C-alpha cells in the first residue's frame, strides 16, 4: 500500500536548512495497522504528510496504492487524495458552523461520490463509529472523544483504502484513547490500511507493526 524509497525532506529556516527526514526506506502492506512512534521533532508528522500528498519530498519517491505521487500536479493530487486517503487530525478540524452530519458529508460533496445518498451515507458512518444521535448537533456541543469519532467518520466518507491519523488521541484521556484505537483496529479488520502517528507507545498495543523514528531516521 505504501512504499517510500530514499525519502528525505529538508526545510529552509532562519537558522539554515533543517532535515526533517533523512533517506527513509519504508513499506506498509495493505491491511496493516502501522504505528509510527517517536519523540516530538522526530519526523513523524512530516512522513505522514508526504504519504498523504500534502507535502512533497526533497528527494526520493513516495508510492501509495501503486501510484507515484511525484509526477502529479496539485489538482490531480487533490483528486487522488479524495479517493484514496482519509485523514484524522489531532484537533478534529470539524467546521463549527456545520452539523456533525454535514461535516461528514463534506468529502462526498467535494468528490461527487455517493451522489444523492450523502446524508444516508453520513448517518451510516456515524452509526458505525457510535455517535448516530449526534448527527444534527454542532461540533461544539460534543465531547472531545465524540468529535474524534466524527472525524473518523468523515475520513471514511469516500470509502478510501488508506486511513492516516496524526496524533489522533493527543487531546483525549486514556480511556477514550483506547476506544479510538479500538475503532482503528475495527477498520483494519474491515480491510482498511491504517497508519497512526503518535508519541504514546502504550496506546498502540493493538497495532500490528510499530515503526520508530528518531532525528528524521528509522530507529532500531
> Sign of the C-alpha dihedral, residues 109, 115, 119, 122?
negative
d(CA 77, CA 1): 17
* Predicted pLDDT at 200: 74
Report, as ranges of residue numbers, the positions in the chain whose pLDDT lies below 50: none
User: Could you tell me the three cell numbers for 67?
Assistant: 501510484
* Predicted pLDDT at 188: 95
Q: CA torsion 80→84→89→94, rounded to 10°?
A: 80
* Predicted pLDDT at 203: 67
d(CA 111, CA 19): 35
Q: Give the list of residues 6+ apart from residue 57 with CB closer than 8 angstroms, or none.
A: 7, 8, 9, 21, 50, 70
Buried/exposed code over 90-118 (b: 16+ C-beta within 10 A; e: otherwise): bebebeeeebbbbbbbbbbeebebbeeeb
Q: Give the list of residues 6+ apart from residue 13 with CB closer than 8 angstroms, or none.
A: none
* Predicted pLDDT at 175: 87
Is residue 212 within a helix (H) or strand (E), and if so which, with residue range?
strand 209-214
Which residue ranges form the domains of the chain, and what is each CATH number? Answer: 30-56+72-218 (3.40.50.300)
Gyration radius (Cα) of the chain, Å: 17
* Predicted pLDDT at 172: 87
Strand partners for 62: 4
* Predicted pLDDT at 90: 86
Amino acid at each position: 500500500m505504501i512504499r517510500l524509497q530514499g525519502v528525505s525532506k529538508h526545510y529552509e529556516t532562519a537558522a539554515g536548512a533543517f532535515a526533517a527526514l533523512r533517506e527513509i526506506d519504508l513499506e506498509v502492506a495493505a491491511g496493516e495497522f502501522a504505528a509510527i512512534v517517536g519523540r516530538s521533532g522526530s519526523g513523524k508528522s512530516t512522513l505522514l504528510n508526504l504519504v498523504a500528498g500534502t507535502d512533497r519530498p526533497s528527494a526520493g519517491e513516495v508510492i501509495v496504492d501503486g501510484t507515484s505521487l511525484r509526477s502529479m500536479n496539485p489538482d490531480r493530487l487533490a483528486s487522488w487524495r479524495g479517493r484514496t486517503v482519509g485523514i484524522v487530525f489531532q484537533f478534529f478540524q470539524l467546521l463549527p458552523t456545520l452539523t456533525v452530519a454535514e461535516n461528514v458529508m463534506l468529502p462526498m460533496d467535494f468528490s461527487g461520490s455517493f451522489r444523492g445518498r450523502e446524508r444516508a451515507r453520513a448517518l451510516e458512518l456515524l452509526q458505525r463509529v457510535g455517535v448516530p444521535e449526534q448527527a444534527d448537533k454542532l461540533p461544539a456541543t460534543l465531547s472531545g472523544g465524540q468529535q474524534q469519532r466524527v472525524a473518523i467518520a468523515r475520513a471514511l466518507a469516500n470509502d478510501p483504502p488508506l486511513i492516516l491519523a496524526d496524533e489522533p488521541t493527543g487531546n483525549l484521556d486514556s480511556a477514550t484513547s483506547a476506544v479510538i484505537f479500538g475503532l482503528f483496529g475495527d477498520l483494519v479488520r474491515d480491510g482498511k490500511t491504517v497508519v497512526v502517528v503518535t508519541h504514546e507507545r502504550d496506546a498502540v498495543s493493538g497495532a500490528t507493526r510499530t515503526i520508530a523514528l528518531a532525528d528524521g531516521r528509522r530507529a532500531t
